[in-house]
Chain A
């Protein structure tokens, strides 16, 4: 699906240590039941990668604990023996956060999969990390509640992985990211100590450790229990589909909607190439002659939705929409969304491989970004599909390439790097929701200076002084950045000061 030679380098460049595998497995067998430990190479193969599939590494073993006590025992054992531990949820992450360490074990939370409680009046659920994202909303549905963050992998991805990545989804403009919807975690640190972080109350004493834990990409500890916030399911949701002849006008329409004081439940954009690709796939009846399509969802009470849709319609017309459709029923609303949700599989149908980027930029730079990417696509001679969480400026350009053609792989990689670095230059970030992992570790050297990276290492060490929890991911060593020649020096000066930023 995605190919990054540079990430291969990352995987192999972690500090060289030698672990006595037989001794390790003997020790782990003492604290885990037989069926909770995988050491057979054939069965280990299933864990050699996550959603970043072309980066593969065989772990020494995989632990599949079924209780927190087993998690504690595994971590204590590895801590004592100096063995790196890579935590893994459902393995759907796109950035290589769960790529194994060749001298370490994978600790999978897949079997910690119990929904502990769902409380309607408290609007909270307590779940184990291996519970799937969608399963939480399904368990809450009988109470008229749901769990708001809905990453596109929500059928498969787990809450533990969502905590690690601070996952978003199409509704986060209005309902927030994982960091806004997780209230508490129980986490076991590398030394095997259990910590309660956050609480079922609105806050807790001391530093906000929950904020650093969420999105920490498995570098700080292994989560064993999560308390999530549930929100009342809106009575009505309706979607507006608007077509634009000019992608710049579509971008302006997004800004106009927000400037008018409307925060839609979802605000997504697809370009013409994407619309054409998904239409073959889902037959949603999209206008194929449009340069861009906007999907704008309103939710709330019937009265609220009617009111908001009427205001949105006026704004979109004024912004130059060539066609506006409003979903008349739930089936039509889901059809509007079907194409957007099928963008990735549709890309997989029209090209042998695609590489999904995840930069975020200030919304008003959208048109500049699109034009720049069009030029890049010509330069690298590769196809490109553009889908965006337009409301929050999070772009998912899909670069089409062929992994059997080494030159195509090389061009795809260079194209991706250009996109990420332009995202930083435009005042944005290299990753809005997929995480850094191994995939974007080199671009961290562009986004942050040496001092910030040093502080990230210090923050990790505050939780994991031994440095054994998912080492080599998310934060590059300063040495690595220096070698890459990518270190950016800022101390108050932004790169490219000539670029207007607002």
Chain B
């Protein structure tokens, strides 16, 4: 199946390259709202779907990029395993390739690591129609540059993602969510204090005077942690719904039309003194802000704290046109341009999706 599909895709890539046309690889379109400009002839990457290899005791799964994320997660769950970075789906038909292209991670990122941390291998078609295999199915592999991880979050601008191998992890034996009434500043300092101790915190969320802390691990470890964290328990179904609603942005905070900013910050950054409503995740390192604030003012304030801001949803056309992502330093942009040129010499793949220059 894949070699036929590869030749069909290769033909389209080479034809686009020869005629100066552009292609926009996509899955279900669940993340079309993300990033910069959507341009290029849509190219549906769901022609190949399904798991290629899954070996629970080897802790990896390999699947075609068009495989539904939900299918992957259901298969893992049946073997008591998971994608530990809890990727947001943003739609029922979200694909594995789309998740890799967007590079997003969910609530468990704070303890388990990000999507890119779990990437073991990628098969890619570059702008010359070549099928390239990087990485593999083993945890430790330092042969050649780590190109697989470079593809995470590249929004389809470097090539067509064909197959993906991810590391998987066992599900924790037990979970419990505790809720505490705290203002933002006190929540942030409590999270930092807990974070510096060996406690099994697997997700944290502060919003509107309420801090929710998810603990994951062996039962005895949870009991010990509860004694330190305190708070009130949340019923298991309510807890599951809460974390799911944050991961998928279905929490009431995310409804409405106000621009949604994502702010990534170093651990010690204080509560943001910016107009708008905040929701805080990842021990304070990922903050969501619903705000009409001027984009320059926001970026300036966030940069001063050592972080970066993304206009995630909505916003004024003028702000979006200036760039939804943090502008890059000139010498870093120069490397980006040369990398884009290396993978996609004719500029076929999703021009402008990440930055206007790429």
Contacts from A to B (Cβ < 8 Å): 119-124, 143-145, 165-166, 168, 172-173, 176-177, 179-180, 189, 193-197, 199-209, 211-212, 214-216, 232-235, 255-256, 258-259, 261-263, 300-301, 303-304, 306-308, 360-364, 389, 392-394, 427-436, 440, 444, 447-449, 451-453, 455-456, 458-463, 465, 474-475, 490-492, 501-502
Contact = CB atoms under 8 A, between A and B. Distances in A.
B260 interface: no
Given A451-B130, A502-B53, A364 B58 contact: yes
B198 A427 contact: no
Given A144-B197, A427-B136, A202 B141 contact: no
Given A259-B56, A456-B144, A462-B342, A392 B138 contact: yes
Contacts of A462: 335, 338-339, 341-342
Interface string B68-104: 0000000000001100000000000000000000010
A176 B154 contact: no
Contact of B6 (A432, A461, A492): A492
A119 B268 contact: yes
Given A172-B140, A432-B141, A455-B342, A208 B53 contact: no
Given A456-B145, A459-B145, A168 B140 contact: yes
Nearest to B265: A201
B146 A360 contact: no
A265 B265 CA distance: 29
Contacts of A440: 143
Contacts, number: 276
Given A261-B171, A263-B170, A461-B342, A432 B138 contact: yes
B131 interface: yes
A502 B58 CA distance: 9
Given A215-B142, A431-B142, A456-B147, 8 more contacts: A195-B332, A206-B355, A256-B57, A258-B58, A261-B171, A364-B57, A393-B139, A444-B144
Contacts of A362: 55, 58, 137-138
A426 to B, nearest CB: 10
B2 A492 contact: yes
B138 A393 contact: yes
B306 interface: yes
A458 B132 CA distance: 13
Interface string B169-203: 11101000000000000000000110111110000
22 contacts: A121-B192, A121-B193, A172-B140, A189-B335, A201-B265, A204-B326, A207-B153, A211-B116, A215-B142, A215-B145, A232-B195, A232-B199, A261-B81, A261-B170, A263-B169, A428-B136, A429-B142, A430-B143, A436-B144, A452-B133, A459-B342, A491-B131
Contacts of A451: 126, 130-132
Contacts of B335: 189, 195, 209, 462-463
Nearest to B52: A502
Interface stretch (B14-22, B38-46, B214-222, B246-254): B214-222
Contacts of B326: 204-206
Contacts of A460: 145
B338 A431 contact: no
B74 to A, nearest CB: 18
A207 B35 CA distance: 13
Given A203-B114, A234-B198, A492-B3, A208 B267 contact: no
A502 B55 contact: yes
B308 interface: yes
Contact of A303 (B113, B223, B325, B333): B223
A206 B336 contact: yes
Contacts of B294: none
Given A364-B58, A462-B339, A463-B335, A452 B134 contact: yes
Interface in B310-347: 310, 325-329, 331-333, 335-336, 338-339, 341-343
A180 B114 CA distance: 9
B108 interface: no
Contacts of B169: 263
A201 B195 contact: no
A492 B221 CA distance: 46
Given A168-B140, A452-B144, A301 B193 contact: no
A206 B130 contact: no
B139 A173 contact: yes
Nearest to A365: B58
Contacts of A392: 138-140
Nearest to A300: B221
Nearest to A211: B149
A212 B150 contact: yes
A212 B145 contact: yes
Contacts of A258: 57-59
B146 to A, nearest CB: 5
A196 B142 contact: no
A355 B53 CA distance: 34
A363 B267 contact: no
A209 B151 CA distance: 10
A51 to B, nearest CB: 15
Nearest to A432: B140
Contacts of A432: 138, 140-142
B109 interface: yes
B243 interface: no
B342 to A, nearest CB: 4
B234 interface: no
B42 to A, nearest CB: 23
B145 to A, nearest CB: 5
A195 B331 contact: yes
A189 to B, nearest CB: 7
B102 to A, nearest CB: 12
Nearest to B324: A205
A300 B109 CA distance: 20
A452 B130 CA distance: 9
A121 B192 CA distance: 5
A211 B339 CA distance: 14
Contacts of B206: none
A187 B299 CA distance: 24
Interface in B236-266: 264-266
A117 B348 CA distance: 45
A208 B343 CA distance: 15
Nearest to A451: B130
Contacts of B204: none
B308 A201 contact: yes
B212 interface: no
Given A206-B332, A427-B137, A176 B338 contact: no
B349 interface: no
B144 A360 contact: no
Nearest to B302: A201
B285 interface: yes
Contacts of B268: 119, 121-122
A262 B170 contact: yes
B292 interface: no
A429 B139 CA distance: 10
B131 A176 contact: no
Contact of B142 (A261, A433, A501): A433
B117 interface: yes
B152 interface: yes
A360 B141 contact: yes
Nearest to B128: A451
A490 B170 CA distance: 33
A34 B333 CA distance: 36
A318 to B, nearest CB: 15
B224 A303 contact: yes
Contacts of B56: 259
